[in-house]
């Protein structure tokens, strides 16, 4: 190997490392910006976030000691915050609004909406929806929203079950 090949390779590796560091720094900065309103919402309800997840411009978290789920979802039009006291609900489920198209060999499922629905114990109170994806306001392709919703459904149902024991 001659010195120009070594120098070019070294510059390329250095460029890749700098790019990696810049992308991670930007990601962490965005994460901190999204956690500020969630922590503020938690403080107003005297909660402390013990676990959270971030997707797109949305964040969901839980206070495991008080069994309260908090969520903030930002879209171009509005910002929605939801506080759910799990003691008031008997179940959580993921609801999908989707349509299927295509031939018999290869059906394609297109999601219009993905929500986490908390079913109230009290028949006089309505259920609470936490929106994870909406084709009208989000980009057209899913980027893990269904998996995050299913994960949080399991977390919420585990906490609800622990409250009923």
pLDDT tens for the chain, 165 residues: list them: 688 888 888 899 988 999 998 888 888 888 888 888 889 888 988 889 999 999 888 999 999 999 999 999 988 888 889 999 999 999 999 998 877 776 666 777 778 889 999 998 888 888 899 999 888 888 877 888 889 999 999 999 999 998 876
Which strands make up the sheet holding 58-63, listed edge to edge?
A: 51-55, 58-63, 68-74, 79-85
C-alpha 8: how far from chain center:
41
CA–CA separation, 129 and 132 (whole Å): 9
**Which tokens hold the place of 94?**
């993921």
Kindly give, in sequence order, each residue whose CB lies less than 8 Å from that of residue 1, ignoring residues fewer than 6 positions away: none
pTM: 0.79
- In the DSSP assignment, the letter for residue 154 is H
How many other C-beta atoms are found inside a 10 Å radius of the C-beta of residue 63? 20
CA–CA separation, 163 and 165 (whole Å): 6
CA–CA separation, 28 and 137 (whole Å): 24
Cross-strand bridge partners of residue 126: none
């Amino acid at each position: 190997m001659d010195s120009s090949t070594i120098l070019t390779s070294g510059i390329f590796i250095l460029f890749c490392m700098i790019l990696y560091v810049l992308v991670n720094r930007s990601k962490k900065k965005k994460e901190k910006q999204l956690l500020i309103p969630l922590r503020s919402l938690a403080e107003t309800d005297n909660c402390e976030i013990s676990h959270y997840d971030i997707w797109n411009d949305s964040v969901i978290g839980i206070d495991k000691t008080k069994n309260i789920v908090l969520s903030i979802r930002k879209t171009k039009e509005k910002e929605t915050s939801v506080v759910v006291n799990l003691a008031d609900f008997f179940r959580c489920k993921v609801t999908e609004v989707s349509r299927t198209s295509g031939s018999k060999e290869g059906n394609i499922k297109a999601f219009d909406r993905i929500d986490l629905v908390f079913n109230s114990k009290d028949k006089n109170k309505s259920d609470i929806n936490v929106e994870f994806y909406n084709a009208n306001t989000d980009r057209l392709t899913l980027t893990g929203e269904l998996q995050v919703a299913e994960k949080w459904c399991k977390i919420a149902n585990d906490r609800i079950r622990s409250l009923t024991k």
